[in-house]
Amino acid sequence: MLGHSTCPRWYIRLMTSPDDLAALIQNTESGTGPALSLRGHGLTVLPESIAALTELHQLDVTGNQLSSLPESIGRLTRLTRLMADDNQLASLPESLGQLAELEQLFVDGNQLTSLPSALERLARLERLDARGNRLTAVPESLCRLRGLKDLRLGKNLLTSVPESLWRLTGLETLDLSENQLASLSSGIGELSRLRMLDLGHNALTHLPESLGKLTGLSGYLYLSDNRLTSLPASLGKLKVLRYLNATDNKLRTLPETLGGMEALAELRLYNNQLEVLPDSLGQLANLKELHLKNNVLVSLPGSIGGLTRLRKLSLENNRLTSLPESLGGLSRLSELDLRNNRLGALPESLGGLTHLAYLDLRGNLLRSLPSSIGALPNLEKLDLRWNKLSSPPEWLERLERRGCTVYL
């Protein structure tokens, strides 16, 4: 049985037959209660006698070889946190529904094909992680957990989600990535408290306009590796979103409303089929990284000069034939990658990139370079390979003498 101590940290050795299993029980922080860690002990069975530890608040059996949990685990009625990631669990006991105090349940990386209906009785459950299993459906019972704030069901075998999922209006994090979802209903817009949404690595061909109702999205929106040909115009209403990833799709254009995402700090759009960028791009005044490699861009909008906080601009493997003069207004830019385009000349305004440290111009059609590049005070690397320079400018030697690496 568990004991108590006047010390803020106390340890008791738990011995269980038949294997005399040693475990550490630790009151790690004031107020958290006793915690038992059996992490990475090579367990194949968790003994029924675990039920004797009725004062236990946290149980961690992560990284073992458990194929099941004992029904007796339901007697640990004071548990607030149960961690059983990275085992071989094929199912969970119905007795989990008796853990009325449970707030967090972690079962990532197992072999679960379903979740027990008894989970609906966990009225205090706030976080459920079940990534990396074999779930083919989200049970209706799960959608009755109105206190749930964090739900992670990525890397399963889901082809759809029930409409009742959108009634979990307290959700702040929803991970449905790495499944087989082909569509989402407009009901997703009811999750008004969402801060992070991951829909990446599915088979989505379009997104509902109701995504624009998720105005609380402030962290991340992942849409990568789907089959999207366009993004909904309503995304422009996500004014506090800081990170948007829509890479590895089939996007040809972006909505003009994109400029409304005024808090965006990082925008990833590489591996698409983008031919043009909207003029409103220049309104993203807080953008620090813009990733556009592997598209089919032939030009950039002049408004790009409005991205005054931009630090990294990735444009490699496009079809750019020229750059706007306004590019020189990106005074905070430190990395500019233009390799493998069709540039025959560069604007003199590049001399305004006073923070530029890395400039990659490989694989273009350049015959000459603006002298303003030679005056860039912070340039550390200049890559000019595979161009058609008639003769290297003399200022390249000056750059090298002051420590800049130049490749010709």
Q: Is the pLDDT at 7 greater than 70, yes or no?
A: no
Range with the lowest mean pLDDT among 24-33, 175-184, 213-222? 24-33
Long-range Cβ contacts of 146-152 (<8 Å, 24+ apart):
146/170, 147/123, 149/173, 150/126, 151/127, 151/175, 152/108, 152/128
Cα dihedral 243, 181, 216, 143 sign:
negative
Strand partners of residue 59: 36, 82
Strands (E), 131-264: 150-152, 173-175, 196-198, 220-222, 243-245
Torsion angle, alpha carbons of 132, 136, 142, 143, to 10: 120
Q: How far apart are CA 234 and CA 250, in angstroms?
A: 19
pTM of the predicted structure, to 2 decimals: 0.92
pLDDT, tens digit (0-9, with 9 covering 90-100), for 328-360: 999 999 999 999 999 999 999 999 999 999 999
- Neighbouring CB atoms inside 10 A of 52's CB total 16
Q: Is the pLDDT at 213 greater than 70, yes or no?
A: yes
Q: How far apart are CA 224 and CA 275, in angstroms?
A: 18
Q: Tokens 């029904």 identify what position?
A: 71
Nearest partner of 176 among 141, 207, 131, judged by Cα:
131
**Mean pLDDT, the chain, integer:** 92
Q: How far apart are CA 119 and CA 241, in angstroms?
A: 32
Task: Spell out a b/e string for 298-317, using b for 16 or more CB atoms within 10 Å of the CB, else e.
Answer: eebbebbbbbeebbbbbbbb
Q: Is the pLDDT at 9 greater than 80, yes or no?
A: no
Average pLDDT over residues 39-45: 96
**What does the DSSP assignment read for 208-220?**
-GGGGG-TT--SE
In sequence order, which residues have a C-beta less than 8 Å from that of residue 397 and are 6 or more positions away? none
- Neighbouring CB atoms inside 10 A of 72's CB total 16
Confidence band of 32 (pLDDT split at 50, 70, 90): low
Average pLDDT over residues 173-194: 98
Q: What percent of the chain has pLDDT over 90?
A: 91
User: Which pair of structure tokens corresponds to residue 288?
Assistant: 């620090």
Domains and CATH numbers, the chain: 1-149 (3.80.10.10)
Report in angstroms the alpha-carbon separations of 395 from 372, 375, 398, 400, 401.
10, 8, 5, 9, 10
Cα dihedral 131, 133, 137, 138 sign:
negative
What pLDDT sits at residue 20? 37
pLDDT, tens digit (0-9, with 9 covering 90-100), for 176-186: 999 999 999 99
Confidence band of 58 (pLDDT split at 50, 70, 90): very high
Range with the lowest mean pLDDT among 4-8, 124-128, 284-288? 4-8
Q: Is the pLDDT at 11 greater than 60, yes or no?
A: no
- Neighbouring CB atoms inside 10 A of 325's CB total 14
Q: Is the pLDDT at 209 greater than 80, yes or no?
A: yes
Average pLDDT over residues 71-82: 97
pLDDT, tens digit (0-9, with 9 covering 90-100), for 99-126: 999 999 999 999 999 999 999 999 999 9
pLDDT, tens digit (0-9, with 9 covering 90-100), for 233-249: 999 999 999 999 999 99
